[in-house]
Amino acid sequence: MQHPWQALALAALLALTGCTADATVGAPSPTQQAPQQAAENVTYIDVRTPEEYRQGHVEGALNLDIQQEGFIDELGKLDKGRKYLVYCRSGNRSEQAVEIMRGLGFTDVANAGAYETLRNR
C-alpha cells in the first residue's frame, strides 16, 4: 500500500465497527435501479463483500469491498470530482468508506445507507 497510515486507519475503523443488521426476508433481485441514479449522474459504490454484492446490488454500482487490503488503492483510481453515493448492508461500512473518501480528497460523496432501503425505493 502506498500510504501505511491510511491502511492503519482503515484497520482501526473496521475493528471498531461493522455492519450488524439482521438478514432481510426474501431474496433481492440480482440488480435494482436506484431512482435518482440516471437523473443525478451519480456513481454508486457498494462496499459490501463480493458475496453480498452477488445477492443483489444497485444497477451499475461499483463493488469495492472495504474489508479488502487494496480498498484505498482502488479508491485512488476514481475521479474525485464525480458524485458518489456509498452503501452497504446497514450503513456502517458505507459511513466508514465516506470518511475515508473525504480524507482522500473526494468532495461530493455521501452515505446512501443500507442496500435494502435503496432496493425498496
Task: Return the active site residues.
Answer: 88
**Ramachandran category for residue 96: left, alpha or beta (phi over 0 → left; psi -120 to 50 → alpha):** alpha
Q: How far apart are CA 37 and CA 58, in angstroms?
A: 9
Inter-residue contact 83 to 43 (CB < 8 Å): yes
What beta strand segments (E) does the chain contain?
Answer: 31-32, 43-46, 57-58, 62-63, 84-88, 109-114
Instruction: Provide the 10 A C-beta neighbour count for residue 108.
Output: 12
Residues 31 and 80: their CA atoms lie apart, in Å, by 26
> Would you state the cell numbers that stand for residue 72, as one nine-digit string?
484505498
